[in-house]
C-alpha cells in the first residue's frame, strides 16, 4: 500500500458532502396517483402500503398533498367506470383521466403527466386490440397496427384535457410516431412525449396491477414487452423512439435494469427516466415491516442508485416519503 494515497481522507464530515458525486432532489421525482371512477371514497392498495385509489373529488387534494412535499410532478393513472374490448373509455372526453387532469391543472401548479395505454380500459386487460382467437392461442396477443390509432386518440384526449406531457407505455411498435403525428395535427406540437422506451415483461409489476386493475384476463405480455434477458435490444428500441420524436426516454423497471439506464444515458443525449415500479416499492416495504432493513434508508439508496446510473427523473411510489427527507 502506498500510504500517501488515502481515499478515506475525503469521507470525513465536512468534506464528504462537498465531494459527493450524485445529488437527489425532490424535483427529480414524479409521484404516480390513481384516480378511480368506481368509488366515492379512498381505497387503500393492500400490496402498496401508504397508497390509495382516490375518487375524482379527491384528485386535487391528493395532488396538493404531493406538492406539499416538494415533488412538483405527478403521473395520473385512471380506473374507469366501465371496460370493453377496445378500451374506448381511454379516449372518452368525460373519462376519468381526462376529468382528473382538468381539475388538477385548474386548481394546482403540478406538472401533469398522463400514462397512455389501454390495459386499464380493456375488458381483457391487454394493451391494445386483440388478434383473432388470442384468448385461446398463447402465441397471439395484441394487433399492433390497429392499436396505434387508439393510442393516438387517447393521447390527444389527454392533451385536450390539459396534460403537460403524455407517456405511452404499451410498447406498441410505432406508437411514438403515431402519437407525435396526432398531437401535431391537433395543434399540440409543443407537448412532450415521455416514451416507455425500454419496458420489460417483468415480475415486478404485480402490485401495480392491483392498483390500476389492469391485469391480463388471460396470457401475459411477453409478445410486446421486452425480454428481461436482452440489454442490446433496449438500444434498438430506444433509437426507434428517438427517431419517431420521443422527448424523454424511460426504462422500466429500474432497480434490476440499472445497466440499461446507464447504457441509454451514454448512448442518447436525451433525458432518461427510470420507473421505480410497484414490486420494487412493495418488497422494500415488506422487508422493512419484518425489521430486515431501514425503510427510509433503503428507499433513499435505491433512488440514489437510479440517479447515479443516469436517470434525470424517477417515477416512484417513494416520492413523497423521500422528498420529506430531502
Report how far apart, in Å, the C-alpha atoms of 182 and of each of 5, 66, 115, 243 are.
59, 31, 16, 16
**153 counts as catalytic:** no
Return the residue matching grid coordinates 379516449.
91
Strand runs labelled E in 27-103: 29-36, 43-44, 52-54, 73-79
In degrees, to the nearest 5, what angle opens at C-alpha 108 toward C-alphas 306 and 168?
Answer: 45
Q: How far apart are CA 233 and CA 211, in angstroms?
A: 29
Count of residues in the chain: 326
Contact 129, 120 (CB under 8 A): no
Q: Which of 83, 153, 252, 307 is catalytic?
A: 252
Contact 114, 101 (CB under 8 A): yes
Report how far apart, in Å, the C-alpha atoms of 128 and of each of 187, 261, 301 are.
25, 27, 36
**116, three cell numbers:** 397512455
**17, three cell numbers:** 458532502
Q: How far apart are CA 117 and CA 125, in angstroms?
A: 11
**83 counts as catalytic:** no
CA atoms 203, 206, 207, 213: torsion sign = positive
What's 88's DSSP letter? G
Report strand pairing: 52-54 vs 43-44: antiparallel
Contact 93, 183 (CB under 8 A): no
Where in the sequence numbering do the catalytic residues fall? 199, 252
Amino acid at each position: 500500500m502506498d500510504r500517501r494515497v488515502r481515499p478515506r481522507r475525503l469521507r470525513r464530515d465536512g468534506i464528504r458532502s462537498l465531494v459527493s458525486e450524485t445529488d437527489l432532489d425532490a424535483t427529480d421525482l414524479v409521484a404516480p396517483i390513481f384516480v378511480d371512477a368506481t368509488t366515492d371514497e379512498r381505497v387503500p392498495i393492500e400490496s402498496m402500503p401508504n397508497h390509495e385509489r382516490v375518487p375524482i373529488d379527491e384528485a386535487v387534494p391528493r395532488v396538493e398533498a404531493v406538492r406539499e412535499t416538494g415533488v412538483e410532478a405527478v403521473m395520473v393513472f385512471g380506473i374507469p367506470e366501465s371496460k370493453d374490448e377496445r378500451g374506448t373509455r381511454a379516449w372518452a372526453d368525460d373519462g376519468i383521466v381526462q376529468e382528473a387532469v382538468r381539475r388538477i391543472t385548474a386548481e394546482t401548479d403540478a406538472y401533469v403527466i398522463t400514462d397512455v395505454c389501454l390495459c386499464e380500459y380493456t375488458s381483457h386487460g391487454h394493451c391494445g386490440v386483440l388478434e383473432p382467437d388470442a384468448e385461446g392461442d398463447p402465441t397471439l396477443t395484441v394487433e399492433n397496427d390497429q392499436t396505434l390509432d387508439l393510442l393516438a386518440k387517447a393521447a390527444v384526449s389527454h392533451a385536450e384535457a390539459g396534460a403537460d406531457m403524455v407517456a405511452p407505455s404499451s410498447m406498441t411498435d410505432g406508437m411514438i410516431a403515431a402519437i407525435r403525428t396526432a398531437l401535431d395535427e391537433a395543434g399540440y406540437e409543443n407537448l412532450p412525449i415521455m416514451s416507455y422506451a425500454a419496458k420489460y415483461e417483468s415480475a415486478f409489476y404485480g402490485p401495480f396491477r392491483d392498483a390500476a386493475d389492469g391485469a391480463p384476463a388471460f396470457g401475459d405480455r411477453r409478445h410486446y414487452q421486452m425480454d428481461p434477458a436482452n440489454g442490446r435490444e433496449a438500444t434498438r428500441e430506444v433509437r426507434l423512439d428517438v427517431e419517431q420524436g420521443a422527448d424523454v426516454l424511460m426504462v422500466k423497471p429500474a432497480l434490476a435494469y440499472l445497466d440499461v439506464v446507464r447504457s441509454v444515458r451514454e448512448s442518447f443525449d436525451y433525458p432518461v427516466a427510470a420507473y421505480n415500479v410497484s414490486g420494487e416499492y412493495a418488497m422494500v416495504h415488506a422487508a422493512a415491516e419484518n425489521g430486515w432493513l431501514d425503510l427510509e434508508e433503503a428507499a433513499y439508496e435505491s433512488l440514489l442508485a437510479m440517479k447515479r446510473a443516469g436517470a434525470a427523473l424517477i417515477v416512484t411510489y417513494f416520492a413523497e416519503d423521500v422528498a420529506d427527507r430531502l
